[in-house]
Amino acid sequence: MGSIKLKAKDLKNINFPTNKARSLALGIFNEKHFKHQTKEEKLKNIQQILACPEDYSKDLVLEKLVHELTEKPPKTTFKSYELAKDPQHYQVFGKPFITDNTMRQMDVAMQLPVAEKGALMPDAHLGYGLPVGGVLATKNEVIPYGIGLDIGCRMALSIFPVSSSYIDRYGFQLKRSLQEQTHFGIGKLQNTYEEHEILDHSLFGEIDLLREYHGKAKGQIGTSGSGNHFAEFGKVVLSASNSLGMEVGEYMGLLTHSGSRGLGAAIANYYMRVAIDTCKLPRGAKHLAWLDLNTEAGQEYWMAMNLAGDYARACHDVIHRKISLDLGLKAVTKIENHHNFAWKEIQENGEQLVVHRKGATPAAKGQLGIIPGTMKDPGFIVSGLGNSHALNSASHGAGRKVSRGQAKSSWTKSEMNKTLKANNITLIGGGVDESPLAYKPITEVMNSQKKLVQIEGEFHPQIVRMDKA
C-alpha cells in the first residue's frame, strides 16, 4: 500500500487562488483528522472545498483554509514616488577607479525615499538598477535589481592537501577534469541528473514560478553560466598569520565562480515586473522599484531569493564534489561567499536593515571570503574588518575597466593568448571580452580597501575553464 500523505506535486493539477491556500490545504489534509483517508479522497475533498468554500464555514478544522478562500483579495494598486532632490551621503572606496556615470547611478539610488545607507566598492561599474559594486540598505524593502539577475552569484575555493607542484605534474589530468566535469553556457543543461537536497525544497511546490522552473533547476544544477563565470585550478599561497588554521605554504586550489542560473534569472525578472507595476518611480530610476517585505509579493520574493542563493551554493557543491571524486582528492577546507544578494543585518545602533550587495562581498568582522582577480592575476583570500562605513562589505573582484563590446574591439584573441602564455596560464574557452586588460588592476583595488578586509592568502590561476570551449 502506497503512502497516503499528500505531497506538493499531488496538488499541481488543482487550481488554487493563492499559494497560501495551497500550503494550507497541504498542511491540513496531512494532519490527524484526515489520516484515514486515501490520497484520492483527500484530493476530492479539496476540490469540493475550492468549488464551494462557504459550505464549510463552520468546520473548525478547515477554518483557516476557508478564510483564505473566501476573503476578498485586495485590488492590485500602485503608488508613485518622487526622488529626493539630493542624494544622501555615501562612502566611496577607490574613487579614482570609478567612472562618473557609475557615480551618477549610485546617486540616483541614494535619492530613493527608502534609501537608508549606501557605499560604493572600488570595483564598481555601471549596471542595471544598482551599480555593480554598489551596496544599499533599506528599512524593510527589497529591490530585485538592487540584487541583480544572477541571484546568489558566488565564489567557492576548495584547498587540497597537495603542493601546488601537483598542477605541473598532473596538468593534463586537471585540464581533462575541468573539460569533463564542468558545463558552461546560457541555458546549458547537464548530461546526467545530479542529486542534491535543494531540489526537494518545499518552495518548489508552493510558489507557482518556482514550480514552473523546477525541471530547469534539476537540469542545470552543477553548471555555470557565461561571461565571467569560471572554474580554475591554481596555486594557493597562505600568509603566515592566516586564520584558516592551516600551515603556511603553497597548496593546490579549485576556485569556482557562478550563480543560480536560469532559476535566479526567472525570479529576478518576474518580481522586477511586479515591483515596477506597484512602485512607480521617475523614468531614470524605474529599475530601482522595490517590494515591501510586509506584502505577499515581498515575502514571496524574499523566500524565492533565499532559495536561489541556496541553489547557487548547491551548484558549487556539485562541481567541487564531481571534480574531487574525479581526481581522488579530498579538500581540507572550503571558503565560500555570496554576492548579488540581500541580507537582514543588525547595524551598530541596533537597527535592522535590508542590505543589498550587488557585486559586493560580505565583510563582517572575521568573515572569510574570496576576491578574484582575472584569468592571469591573483585573487585574494580575505577576512572582513567589519567597516560600518562600507556596510561590512568589500569588492567582489577587480571590476571591469571597459565594457565587453569595447574589449572585443580593442584586443584580439591572439593578443590575449600571448599574454596568457607569457604568464604560464592554460585557458579552456573564454573570449576576448574577459581579457585581463578589460579589468581594473586588482592590486590597486585591494590597496583601496585595506580598511575593509585583511588578506589571508592569494590564489594564482594556472588552468582556467570558461564558456565557449
Q: Please indicate whether residue 362 or residue 208 has the higher confidence score (pLDDT).
A: 362
Q: Please indicate whether residue 446 or residue 244 has the higher confidence score (pLDDT).
A: 446
Q: Are residues 245 and 348 in the same domain?
A: yes
Does any domain span residue 89? Answer: no
Does any domain span residue 95? Answer: no
The pLDDT value recorded for residue 76 is: 55
Among the candidates 28, 54, 70, a domain finishes at 70
The pLDDT value recorded for residue 75 is: 55
Q: Are residues 302 and 442 in the same domain?
A: yes
Q: Burial of 300 by CB count in 10 Å (0-12 exposed, 13-18 middle, 19+ buried)?
A: buried
Residue written as grid cell 550587488: 358
Does any domain span residue 1? Answer: no
Q: Are residues 64 and 183 in the same domain?
A: no
Distance CA 107, CA 114 (A): 13
Distance CA 160, CA 249 (A): 12
Distance CA 216, CA 436 (A): 33
Residue written as grid cell 537540469: 219
Q: Are residues 226 and 331 in the same domain?
A: yes
Q: Are residues 158 and 55 in the same domain?
A: no
With 60 as the cut, is the pLDDT of residue 73 above it?
no
The pLDDT value recorded for residue 170 is: 96
Residue 23's domain comprises: 8-70
Q: Are residues 272 and 378 in the same domain?
A: yes
The pLDDT value recorded for residue 87 is: 95
Report the Cα–Cα distance between both ends of the chain, in Å, rounded.
Answer: 50
Q: Are residues 288 and 435 in the same domain?
A: yes
Q: Burial of 358 by CB count in 10 Å (0-12 exposed, 13-18 middle, 19+ buried)?
A: buried
The pLDDT value recorded for residue 72 is: 67
With 50 as the cut, is the pLDDT of residue 1 above it?
no
Q: Are residues 177 and 302 in the same domain?
A: yes
Does any domain span residue 80? Answer: no
Q: Please indicate whether residue 2 or residue 176 has the higher confidence score (pLDDT).
A: 176
CB 224 within 8 A of CB 190: no
Does any domain span residue 3? Answer: no
Does any domain span residue 348? Answer: yes
Segments in 191-278 forming alpha helices (H):
203-206, 208-212, 214-220, 261-278
With 90 as the cut, is the pLDDT of residue 18 above it?
no
The pLDDT value recorded for residue 188 is: 72
Grid coordinates in use for 268? 529576478
Residue type, 165: S
Does any domain span residue 116? Answer: no
Q: Are residues 64 and 170 in the same domain?
A: no
The pLDDT value recorded for residue 3 is: 63
Q: Are residues 50 and 159 in the same domain?
A: no
Among the candidates 28, 46, 70, a domain finishes at 70
Among the candidates 38, 53, 70, a domain finishes at 70
Does any domain span residue 85? Answer: no
CA nearest 382: which of 390, 391, 372?
A: 372
Average pLDDT, the chain: 92
Coil, helix or strand at residue 352: strand
Strands 453-465 and 426-428: parallel
CB 238 within 8 A of CB 252: no
pLDDT tens readout for residues 98-130: 999 999 999 999 999 999 999 999 999 999 889
Grid coordinates in use for 272? 522586477
With 80 as the cut, is the pLDDT of residue 4 above it?
no
pLDDT tens readout for residues 204-258: 988 989 999 999 999 999 999 888 999 999 999 998 888 888 999 999 999 999 9
Total tally of structural domains belonging to the chain: 2
Q: How far is CA 328 from CA 54, 191, 243, in A?
A: 63, 22, 27
Q: Are residues 316 and 192 in the same domain?
A: yes
169: domain CATH number? 3.90.1860.10
